[in-house]
Structure 1
């Protein structure tokens, strides 16, 4: 297939790109700068312009940002949309989180409908943030699945950056489903809802300073920042970035994934387990990582919500990587950039 991948230098997208190329697809990926395009190209020397090309989209929140990018010769058959802002150093929630996420998602769909009639499949990266009910905390009696939606309101969204981030994911995903319902485009949409995404970084795009938010906790543990106390885990479920990336590609390839929402998670974890895996597998960090006596980082005593990821397993057939393998591979990748 000829595929447009948005946000190609992102943590998740870099792995999506690897799987797309591995599966024999021809890819154009959007980047914010020529420098990023050059780095990605250098890292994939065996693929010519026919298999890997680039489109510059500097600001996904601009009206019509993707109008040029969706036009291609040969034309696109599918789009995987991963581009989205994710950081908490926010001063204006609406302008920095809500607008870019919502306009970025509806913008790409509008551009496809208007200018890329050959596109039949669109896969959008959403988040567990659009599933979770933050007011219920650990909610041990509940099982989360694709049927759940975060009940956040537009008013609550502007309370603080963390709520704003979760709201941006919720409203962006809802806007995608509304688009399908109201605009009746000639493409289907599938959405991916992962929780905390861990796993190896793509070294040519990342330094320890520019690490994706999820992996920062592994870096902090390696650097000795958890020595006296392990921080609260926060999100108690996770997935490996490679399993998530493969899920995007499989959802694009498989017809029965059309117009479905996928909860992409391996299951539960805790920060304490991160520390234990690093201690067990990397003796060189013995003096930096917490010991068995270090407080914090455990699962809540009252228990924790359950997860139902059966739709992803059944329709996409993903075999989840183990937590230990994921942490070990991540630590190795961080060591390669100087941890």
Structure 2
């Protein structure tokens, strides 16, 4: 059993990581932004003792010294998994809402671990394929863990999407730079997923509060995309449950120390999502795009980039779920909200 600090435990990805940690016998303290969110997580894990699941409130991860006391625990932490970072495209001030929390939160956390948590051996950073994939390369290129997206600050502050992508680049680079310069007592590992889909297990009030990536499945499944399938954009994906397991394996497996991991089973398109839903949910077929309305969501004629997942399979031993299983399970997790007339 490893005593683990998990940041941002109420989020889409973090909720699955928490499930995986508990199922594999780890003891967890997770940060949340409010007591209300702590109570919601407790409700999702009835019967789990305070010794195995506890909470600490961090209202603002970008605040100076936000994690100084958080990283101190009895029994002491041996691992930290840092997932807390904003991902939404509605930011009014991209520096304040996206860039600062990602960069300052990551740097503040690893500084706090170095200064106050000598027992920690591994810090896991939830990064992104956005920190690897820079789209200036030809679309026949296959990205690996050696690649970096070389976005500039000017590009980062030009719009919310660029700001999100840059926030993952800058925050992950800051973590690696810290390790190189400060030589801390712990190793850093990063997990770099592309588009993340999968069933929701975290608390949401309705489908308007859905995480950004799953909004795409919601809109396709429940008729909002009938007239035009959304453009896919990033034609690489991963199931959130496989991503969560990758995080936990990366704190368990010694060889994962100091590594980056491309985590994805490969390519997909929004047209593929449509077909998965069409095959599995007869009651939803009337709201799905057909014919020319499908074309925007298909692969580009020139093909798209590859993403080398060899290391994730060989070092972590990940076996990836197929797209259809992911989409079916996701739609089933959203159906209760639709049945209540919410989120349409």
TM-score calculated relative to the size of structure 2: 0.96
Aligned to 2:342: none
Q: What is the CA–CA distance in structure 2 between the aligned matches of 1:54 and 1:324, rounded to whole Å? A: 35
What number of residue pairs does the alignment pair up?
Answer: 337
Aligned to 2:15: 14
Tell me the SS of whatever aligns to 2:29: strand
- Cα shift readout 1:282-321 (whole Å, capped 9, x = no counterpart): 0010111112453321001011112211011100001000
Q: What is the CA–CA distance in structure 2 between the aligned matches of 1:110 and 1:337, rounded to whole Å? A: 41
Q: What is the CA–CA distance in structure 1 between the aligned matches of 2:105 and 2:57, rounded to whole Å? A: 14
Q: What is the CA–CA distance in structure 1 between the aligned matches of 2:297 and 2:192, rounded to whole Å? A: 24
Residues 142 and 328 from structure 1, CA distance in 2 versus in 1: closer, same or farther, beyond 3 angstroms? same
Q: What is the CA–CA distance in structure 2 between the aligned matches of 1:5 and 1:109, rounded to whole Å? A: 13
**Matched-pair contact (CA < 8 Å) for 1:194–1:239:** yes
**Matched-pair contact (CA < 8 Å) for 2:80–2:120:** yes
State the 1:206 CA deviation. Answer: 5.5
Q: What is the CA–CA distance in structure 2 between the aligned matches of 1:211 and 1:79, rounded to whole Å? A: 26
**Matched-pair contact (CA < 8 Å) for 2:65–2:112:** yes
**Matched-pair contact (CA < 8 Å) for 1:98–1:168:** yes
Aligned to 1:317: 317
Unpaired segments of 5 or more residues in structure 2? Answer: 340-344
Residues 1-339 of structure 1 mapped to structure 2, 5 A cutoff: 1-136=2-137, 139-202=138-201, 204-205=203-204, 207-294=206-293, 295-338=295-338
State the 1:48 CA deviation. Answer: 0.6
Unpaired segments of 5 or more residues in structure 1? Answer: none
State the 1:203 CA deviation. Answer: 5.2
**Matched-pair contact (CA < 8 Å) for 1:203–1:336:** no
**Matched-pair contact (CA < 8 Å) for 2:10–2:202:** no
The runs of at least 4 consecutive aligned structure 1 residues that moved more than 3 Å come to 203-206
Tell me the SS of whatever aligns to 1:296: helix
Q: What is the CA–CA distance in structure 1 between the aligned matches of 2:337 and 2:76, rounded to whole Å? A: 38
When the two chains are superposed, the root-mean-square deviation of aligned CA atoms in Å is: 1.2
TM-score calculated relative to the size of structure 1: 0.97
Q: What is the CA–CA distance in structure 2 between the aligned matches of 1:224 and 1:336, rounded to whole Å? A: 16
Q: What is the CA–CA distance in structure 1 between the aligned matches of 2:43 and 2:118, rounded to whole Å? A: 32
**Matched-pair contact (CA < 8 Å) for 1:130–1:170:** yes
**Matched-pair contact (CA < 8 Å) for 1:203–1:337:** no
Q: What is the CA–CA distance in structure 2 between the aligned matches of 1:270 and 1:325, rounded to whole Å? A: 15
**Matched-pair contact (CA < 8 Å) for 2:94–2:163:** yes
**Matched-pair contact (CA < 8 Å) for 1:2–1:74:** yes
Q: What is the CA–CA distance in structure 2 between the aligned matches of 1:101 and 1:60, rounded to whole Å? A: 8
